[in-house]
Amino acid sequence: MVYLIRSGNQEPKRENPINHANYGIINPQATSILVGENILLIKDLGPWDLYPTVTNDANYVVEELVWCGHLREGQRLFYYDSDGSVDELLVKNGKFAGFAPGPSTLSKR
């Protein structure tokens, strides 16, 4: 199940979120390989003719997730990219720090 993070009572930090990636938080219980891990799993929702991908907007995505309280210190951040592959956004001190390959068993779901 996908939960959009821009709904609810916390507004995004930016005035015009259409200029940033459109993504949702996925319940990690739905992915058995990640159960019990200290992770946050998101999915790039697109459409990519209107929104940049999570990959291309990684700095903002990490900043927004930290700011909204969805990404806690020490949590790992995995994402389904626009091709359906799972990769990791590396986070250091609350900031985007690079990419790492994710578990291949989650790709193309």
How does pLDDT run across 55-66, given as a tens digit for each residue? 999 999 999 999
Do 59 and 94 form a contact (C-beta atoms < 8 A)? no
Q: Give the residue, 1 or 59, on which the prediction is more confident.
A: 59
Counting the structural domains of the chain, the total is 1
Which tokens sit at 17? 């979120």
Per-residue pLDDT reduced to its tens digit, 79-90: 998 888 889 999
Per-residue pLDDT reduced to its tens digit, 13-50: 444 556 899 999 987 666 555 555 688 999 999 898 89
Range of the domain at 17: 2-24+32-106
Which tokens sit at 2? 């996908």
Residue 66 CB coordination number (10 Å)? 20
